[in-house]
Structure formats: C-alpha cells, structure tokens
A = this chain, B = another copy of it.
Amino acid sequence: MDHAEQVAEVLFAEQQRLVDEFGEVDGSQFRPHPWERAGLGGGRACILEDGEVFERSGINVSLVRGSRVPPTIAGSRPHTAGLPYAATGISLVLHPRNPYVPAFHANFRYFEVTGADWWFGGGCDLTPAYGFDDDAIGFHQALKSWCDRHDAAWYPAWKATCDEYFTIGHRGEMRGIGGVFFDYLSDPAPEGFDRCWRAITDGVATILPAYLPILQRRRTMPYGERQRAWQLFRRGRYVEFNLVYDRGTRFGLETRGNSEAILMSLPPLARWGFDIQPEPGSPEMDLARFLQPHDWASRR
C-alpha cells in the first residue's frame, strides 16, 4: 500500500465518521453516491439535501491516478512534468437552512508524484450571512490551536493565504470570515511524511470542534423572511466566488471532472437583485466588517 492509498483509506473512514456525526445532528441520512472514471479512479460523494439542519451538504472523498501530472501542476512544479501521479482528498461543504448558521467548507488533499515529490494541501473556512464576533473568534482559535500543535508559523501564514484566496475581486470583499488555506506542505526529512500526515489527520479531526459549537449555538435562533432573503442573497455571492474564482472548481470543470461532485459546493438556492444595500446600522450591514481580513484569533 503506497502513501496515497494509506491517506485515502483514512479519509474514507473520516468521511464515514463525519457523515454519521452530521447526519445525527440533522436527523437524516447522507446518501452515498460512489463514482468511478475509467482508468482514472473514483470516489464517494455523500449528499444530504433538504434536511432539517442542512439544506444541502456534501462530503466527497476521491482517489485518482494519472499517467502524467496535469499541466497546471507541472507548470508550477517543473520537476514533476510528465510523471505519473496519485491524488486523494476529502472535501466537505455544509449549507445550513437557518440563516444564522454559517456555511462551512473544508478540504484536505494529498498529491504524490511517483519518485519525485509529494505534498499536502487544504483549508477550512466559514461563510456567515450574519456576523457574530464569538463565532469568528472561536472558529479561528480552533484552527490556530490545531496549527500551533504542529508549527507556530503555520496559522499566521495560512490565515493570510486564506484571506487573500477567498476574496471576491469584483465585490471587494471576502466570501466569508476566512480560516486557513495552505498548499505544497511537504517535508524531506526521513520522518517528514509521518509528521505532515499527523498534522493533516489532526486538521481533519478539527472540523467538528471548530464548527459544531457554532452550529449548535445558532441552529435554533428564530428567523423570518427578511433573514431568509438575506441568506439567499449572500449565497449568490458564494456562487460568484466559486464559479468565477475558485481554482479547484474551475480546474475541475475545465478538465471535465465529475461536475456533480465538483458543484456539490453550490448552495441549494441563491438569489440576485440589483444593487441590494442593507440599511445603515442593521445586522445585515454589520456583516461587511466580517468580510475584510481581521485578526480574530487574538481577540478575547
């Protein structure tokens, strides 16, 4: 069993654990959709739609292999050009029904180029429609704790990368409150792979403690049509980010990947209106300050 298989095996198990946990929170089951592409590999997308807590949620794990590293990767990593590769990863997107519960996204992936190189990448970020300081602080502190257990340099660097990456250029705002985002995490030391892999499994294990307290705090907050309309409008921005800027989405669509699995990140329902401006002083207006980079983890 090579490292890619070893990682995939753990990620499939983690997927099941997350599916069980979030399914229990919701009170309904994720449906498994195994998929395969001839000569490439496959995966399993677990989907929960129209649930009590989650309006649309997906957790996907895949393991694919190819005979030649894709051009976009070979471009930035020339020593990998033309070589066979394996890629595996888990990605998770939760779109809750209650407008006060933020949407959540996490992704962890492993890329291995036979005989040449390997690295991990990924991240976690949170997208609220209504901002709460406690949620933003708690979320970033959970991510910082995870990072700090492995390398004190990671959180500040990965947080900055995340703030930059999740920017909706044409709107001049972030998709949400950020989180962490990293790529090309590797370590050439003899125990390097094990060390990185321990950090990654610890990251996957941080999904629940980072997100569940927020979900539990907000899920029973009463809301009405105004909050629902605002949530749908903010989801429109989520769609704009994912389809215009998100590299994974664009790469996946361009290379004709499994479009249902790629677009499981899109919200169940989204709204657009011309020049929607929240009232000054309203909670909707207050969201704006959450959508700019901010040092949440050091707040108390």
Bound-complex Cα distance A171 to B257 (A): 10
Residue in B closest to A276 when the chains form the complex, CB atoms? B260
Asked whether B260 lies within 8 Å of A45 as measured between CB atoms, the reply is: no
Task: Report whether B250 and A244 are in contact in the complex, using a CB–CB cutoff of 8 Å.
Answer: yes
Stretch at the interface among A79-87, A138-146, A188-196, A235-243: A235-243
Contact assessment for A268 and B272 in the assembled complex, using a CB-CB cutoff below 8 Å: yes
A33-B274, A236-B266 are contacts. A253–B260 as well, Cβ < 8 Å?
A: no
A256 within 8 A of B: yes
Residues on A close to B: CB < 8 A?
33, 45, 47, 49, 56, 58, 169-171, 232, 236, 239-240, 243-244, 250, 253-254, 256-257, 259-260, 262-264, 266-275
- Docked-complex contact A268 and B264, CB < 8 angstroms: no
Other-chain residue from B56, B58, B240, B259 in contact with A170 (beta carbon distance below 8 A): B259
Interfacial chain B residues near A263, Cβ < 8 Å: 240, 272
* 19 residue pairs bridging A and B, Cβ less than 8 Å apart: A33-B275, A56-B272, A56-B273, A56-B274, A169-B256, A170-B254, A170-B257, A170-B259, A171-B259, A232-B269, A236-B266, A239-B270, A240-B243, A244-B244, A244-B250, A268-B273, A269-B269, A269-B272, A270-B270
Please, which residues of chain B bring their CB within 8 A of the CB of A170? 253-254, 256-257, 259, 262
Would you call B259 and A49 a contact (CB within 8 A)? no
Query: Is B259 touching A253 in the complex (CB atoms < 8 A)?
Result: no
The chain B residue sitting closest to A236, CB to CB, is B266
Rounded to whole Å, the gap between the CB of A198 and the closest CB of chain B is 33
Chain B residues with CB below 8 A from A275, complex form: 33, 260
CA distance A56 to B270 in the complex (A): 14
A270 touches B269 (CB 8 A): yes
Task: Find A271's partner among B169, B240, B269 (CB 8 Å cutoff).
Answer: B269
Chain B residues with CB under 8 Å of A270's CB are 239, 269-272
Interface centre among A49, A257, A260, A272 (most CB of B within 10 A): A272
Q: How far does the alpha carbon of A290 sit from the alpha carbon of B253 in the complex, in Å?
A: 23
Contacts of A47 in B (CB 8 A): 274
A274 CB contacts on chain B under 8 angstroms: 33, 45, 47, 49, 56, 58, 260, 264
Within the assembled complex, what's the spacing in Å between the Cα atoms of A250 and B271? 19
A89 to chain B, nearest CB (A): 19
- B residues less than 8 Å from A236 (CB atoms): 266
Q: In the complex, A57 Cα to B272 Cα: how many Å?
A: 11
Bound CA–CA A254/B263 (angstroms): 22
Shortest CB distance A246–B (Å):
11
Contact A244 B239 (CB under 8 A): no
Q: Hey, which chain B residues are within 8 Å of A254, CB to CB?
A: 169-170
Complex Cα–Cα for A270 and B268 (A): 8
Q: Which B residues are CB-close (under 8 A) to A243?
A: 239-240, 243-244
Minimum CB–CB distance from A229 to chain B (whole Å) comes to 10
